[in-house]
Amino acid sequence: METQLKNLQSEALSAIEKTKTPEDLKSLEVKYLGRKGELTQILRGLKDLPPEEKKKAGQLSNSVKKTLEDVLETKKAKLETAEIEKALKKDFFDTTIPGDARPLGHIHPLTQIQEEVERIFNQMGFGIMDGPEVESEYYNFESLNIPSDHPARDMQDTFFIKDKDDGKHGKMVLRTHTSPVQIRTMEKYGAPLRIIVPGRVFRYEATDAGHDTTFYQVEGLLIEKDISLSHLKGVMAEFLSRLFGKPVKVRFRPGYFPFVEPGLELDFSCLICDNTGQREGEDCKVCKKTGWIEFMGAGMVHENVLKAGGIDPKKYQGWAFGFGLTRLVMMRYAIDDIRLLTNSDLRFLKQF
Ligand code: FA5
């Protein structure tokens, strides 16, 4: 019986050791220690043993029982812990663990300035308009008093869209300026008008630090009764002063654009040298010692343009302007190469 008991113990211990689930463990418990289990079966033979052996076998069977009970208990705890850990791994979500930080971008410097420009003009009563980037020759040139045989066509090198001609308005082009939206808005809303048009424009140009093939302009158009260039001067001085946060002066120089008459160029006072051309005893490099920064083209809207837009030039006058938004951003942040604004280099963009 002693041998039987020892064999039972070692067999049971090895079976318990190998068990992987609490259910299997339970079956082993029943198999070895249950009422009809193997230990009970062996103990049935106890009564037939001589008293001395009976005592010894009785003690041994108690010890085997105790050992198996202890080992079963320990194994049970171990399996339960493993089950809980497994469940935790699958379903548990610890809300107290800090989340993964996702890098947040910010608005591109060009868009930042565009929004600022829109806000200021909006406050002065100007609406914001939009127009197509793929435009007809008619809107981009003809309606703006630039016929196809006119030398002024050479002023803006143009991307033509191959084989596209809408039949009514000539070939299609990538708009070279935002001025076509002048005509589109006059046609749609008539006079009076007070709008700006920020937008992307395209020129077939060799790129360098100051020129790109794709850049942004802001068009302005004001049409009312009894309007003169003095209103333009006032509006632009106010706009630039608000944009730069300090008083800015403007001046006109004669300039030529076929869609305005008279045409002019507008400069504003250099903010670096305070319009003096000198800074800390040296010539100002920003304005090349003139005290003025060249800013935009403008003028009184040409009669032919008003007519093309369906507005009677005898009743209404107006002025228009167009400036390079991209160049304004460069001036504002002292960016010396225009290409930095479009090449998506995060080391550059993160500075704004
Ligand atoms: C025009 O495009 C006229 N439509 C402006 C205008 C509107 C005049 C209304 C009168 C009345 P211009 O070709 O000069 O004009 O361009 C205007 C501005 O666009 C320039 O002053 C400059 O700031 C910017 N610009 C022109 N070419 C480029 C280029 N390749 N890259 C970046 N900016 C440019």
Residue type (1 letter), 35: R
Q: Is the pLDDT of residue 242 over 90?
A: yes
Q: Which residue has the higher pLDDT, 49 or 226?
A: 226
Q: How many CA atoms lie within 13 A of 300 on its CB side?
A: 14
121 and 86 belong to one structural domain: no
212 and 244 belong to one structural domain: yes
343 and 278 belong to one structural domain: yes
320 lines ligand 1 (CB under 6 A): yes
pLDDT band at 204 (very low <50, low <70, confident <90, very high): very high
Spatial separation of the C-alpha atoms in residues 98 and 342, rounded to whole Å: 35
Q: Which protein residue has the closest C-alpha to ligand 1 atom 12? A: 297
Q: Yes or no: say if 196 and 118 are a contact pair by the CB < 8 Å rule.
A: yes
Q: Which protein residue has the closest C-alpha to ligand 1 atom 13? A: 156
Verify cis geometry, omega within 30 degrees of 0, for the bond prior to 192.
yes
201 and 63 belong to one structural domain: no
Nearest-atom number in ligand 1 for the CA of 328 is 23
Domain boundary pick from 35, 62, 91:
91
28 and 119 belong to one structural domain: no
114 and 237 belong to one structural domain: yes
Relative to beta strand 282-283, strand 193-202 is unpaired
The model's pLDDT over 64-93, given as tens digits with 9 standing for 90+, comes to: 899 989 999 999 999 888 888 888 788 778
Relative to beta strand 260-269, strand 250-254 is antiparallel
Per the listing, tokens 């793929």 go with 134
Per the listing, tokens 């003690």 go with 59
126 and 70 belong to one structural domain: no
State both tokens at 184: 């589109």
State both tokens at 92: 């548990």
The model's pLDDT over 153-181, given as tens digits with 9 standing for 90+, comes to: 888 889 999 877 767 788 899 999 999 99
Phi then psi for 290, rounded to 5 degrees? -90, -20
Spatial separation of the C-alpha atoms in residues 256 and 272, rounded to whole Å: 28
Supply the DSSP string of 71-89, one letter for each residue: HHHHHHHHHHHHHHHHHHH
83 lines ligand 1 (CB under 6 A): no
Residue 135: per-residue pLDDT? 95
Spatial separation of the C-alpha atoms in residues 265 and 299, rounded to whole Å: 8
Q: Which protein residue has the closest C-alpha to ligand 1 atom 7? A: 322
Distance 327 CA to ligand 1 centre (A): 10
Residue 180: per-residue pLDDT? 98
326 lines ligand 1 (CB under 6 A): yes
Domain boundary pick from 35, 63, 91:
91
Q: Is residue 181 part of a domain?
A: yes
175 lines ligand 1 (CB under 6 A): no
Q: The pTM is what?
A: 0.74
302 lines ligand 1 (CB under 6 A): no
Residue 153: per-residue pLDDT? 83
Per the listing, tokens 């493993």 go with 82
226 and 256 belong to one structural domain: yes
Residue 285: per-residue pLDDT? 84
145 lines ligand 1 (CB under 6 A): no
pLDDT band at 203 (very low <50, low <70, confident <90, very high): very high
182 lines ligand 1 (CB under 6 A): no
| CA-to-CA separations, 162 to 139, 171, 173, 214, 316, in angstroms, rounded | 18, 8, 9, 19, 38
205 lines ligand 1 (CB under 6 A): yes
Q: Yes or no: say if 165 and 124 are a contact pair by the CB < 8 Å rule.
A: no
Distance 296 CA to ligand 1 centre (A): 7
The model's pLDDT over 308-325, given as tens digits with 9 standing for 90+, comes to: 999 999 999 999 999 999
Q: Is the pLDDT of residue 218 over 80?
A: yes
The model's pLDDT over 105-129, given as tens digits with 9 standing for 90+, comes to: 899 999 999 999 999 999 999 999 9
275 lines ligand 1 (CB under 6 A): no
**Mean pLDDT of all residues in the chain?**
92
Q: Is residue 55 part of a domain?
A: yes
pLDDT band at 45 (very low <50, low <70, confident <90, very high): confident
Q: Is the pLDDT of residue 197 over 80?
A: yes
Angle in degrees, CA 6, 8, 11, rounded to 5: 110
pLDDT band at 94 (very low <50, low <70, confident <90, very high): confident
Q: What percent of the chain has pLDDT over 90?
A: 63
The model's pLDDT over 291-309, given as tens digits with 9 standing for 90+, comes to: 999 999 999 999 999 999 9
State both tokens at 301: 């809207």
Q: Is residue 300 part of a domain?
A: yes
Q: What percent of the chain has pLDDT over 70?
A: 100
Q: Yes or no: say if 197 and 181 are a contact pair by the CB < 8 Å rule.
A: yes
Q: Is the pLDDT of residue 272 over 90?
A: no
Distance 179 CA to ligand 1 centre (A): 10
Rg (CA), the chain: 44
Q: Which protein residue has the closest C-alpha to ligand 1 atom 20? A: 324
64 and 122 belong to one structural domain: no
Q: Is residue 165 part of a domain?
A: no
Distance 254 CA to ligand 1 centre (A): 15
State both tokens at 284: 């100002």
- CATH number for 337: 3.30.930.10
- Sheet containing 134-136, strands listed edge to edge, beginning at the edge strand earlier in sequence: 134-136, 171-174, 160-165
Q: Which protein residue has the closest C-alpha to ligand 1 atom 30? A: 211
Q: Is residue 167 part of a domain?
A: no
CA dihedral 85, 89, 90, 92 (to 10 degrees): 100
Q: Is residue 146 part of a domain?
A: no
Q: Is residue 48 part of a domain?
A: yes
- Indicate if the alpha-carbon torsion angle 104, 108, 113, 114 is positive or negative: negative
Spatial separation of the C-alpha atoms in residues 219 and 202, rounded to whole Å: 15
Enclosing domain of residue 46: 2-91
The model's pLDDT over 5-40, given as tens digits with 9 standing for 90+, comes to: 888 889 988 999 999 988 888 998 999 888 888 888
CA dihedral 44, 45, 49, 51 (to 10 degrees): -20
Per the listing, tokens 């198999």 go with 31
